[in-house]
Homo-oligomer: A and B are copies of this chain.
């Protein structure tokens, strides 16, 4: 007999069926016992007059008759234990919300993630990722896979993990930045979904040592505004997919997300006009402003000062500011993007100005030496986006097995 899922029970009234799942809860009344079985789609209630002693968490298979008296349940069950549990669970799984603290949950991730509320966050992440790919493929982007082990601690220099690569030093890639730019020369528009690694000693609710970066890069643009348009459309597709797959109601992504120049952003946030970057408090103020003035959960900040952006950033017509942007979602930066330099001589000059040698960048510069169109792109931090979307305070609540300053297992 083929196993059916909990949501299919109601289609089989009066029939004998087989279900399987985890013992979610056992409730004993005077004359009957209710066994609640959890599978990937939800809960099934099994009713028996026999005394059953199956610890919570055990995996069972139940054959019984689908009976609908008020609610649909399984009666006259035959229960087979597929995998028993002989220790008490470290926390109760049948409450609407896990009462265990986040650290306890993370210590027992294999169990905690089975809680429907935790699992939903990961489902939303999967749906957002699927929506990202779908929206980009509709715009002719091609998926790429790039190296996570790199020769030089380039790009930002600091905060990289060093490893032993067949006896010589190498580093974990902080982003696929250089590779996705090179691949613009191949497919014009590319995207990658993959892990990036940051050895940041920041022990905060929004930093992870490994996170999932949703990267895109596109050629033949006029400037960063083409990139922002593609990103806005992509976000729209991501949220649509989240709602379609999970039923989770997402905020509206405006057809045109409000955009403020960096100098204006400082004024709105009440920051001194010589600030080179936005602090978290400034980002929150901008988020409130966008919601109040434009009814938008999103706001672009454009024209970040060149001196705070990486060397490959394309300047704006005003050379002090850049064609780089950030996207804030509910007052938190979740995307960084912009137009990049595309001419070989501009790279040589920019590296010189940054006091960087050419040699470690040789393979990267090759792409520009042999012709590259004007291009730009972005990177979305998946965990930050999902945390903001579901209202999680800590990115670890939406990450299956987080890696951070303290945590390297499970």
Contact = CB atoms under 8 A, between A and B. Distances in A.
Contacts of A109: 182, 363, 366
Interface stretch (A164-172, A263-271, A290-298, A304-312): A164-172
Interface stretch (A71-79, A183-191, A251-259, A276-284): A183-191
B195 A114 contact: no
B408 A149 contact: yes
Contacts of A195: 145, 148, 194-195
Contact of A161 (B3, B129, B165): B165
A373 interface: yes
Contacts of A152: 409
Interface stretch (A118-126, A231-239, A313-321, A328-336): A118-126
B110 A126 contact: no
A403 to B, nearest CB: 5
B145 A373 contact: no
B126 A144 contact: yes
A199 interface: yes
Interface in A54-100: 57-59, 82-85, 87, 89
A166 B119 CA distance: 29
Contacts of A212: 145
Nearest to A189: B40
A32 interface: no
Contacts of A57: 370-371
A150 B110 contact: no
B87 A369 contact: yes
A365 B182 CA distance: 42
Given A142-B123, A163-B161, A366-B110, A210 B147 contact: yes
A405 B166 contact: yes
B110 A147 contact: no
Contact of A186 (B113, B149, B342): B113
Interface of A: 3, 20, 22-23, 39-40, 57-59, 82-85, 87, 89, 107-111, 113-114, 119, 122-123, 125-126, 129-130, 133, 137, 140, 142-152, 161-166, 168, 170, 172, 178-179, 182-183, 185-189, 193-195, 197, 199, 201, 209-210, 212, 220, 342-343, 362-364, 366-374, 382, 400-401, 403, 405, 408-410
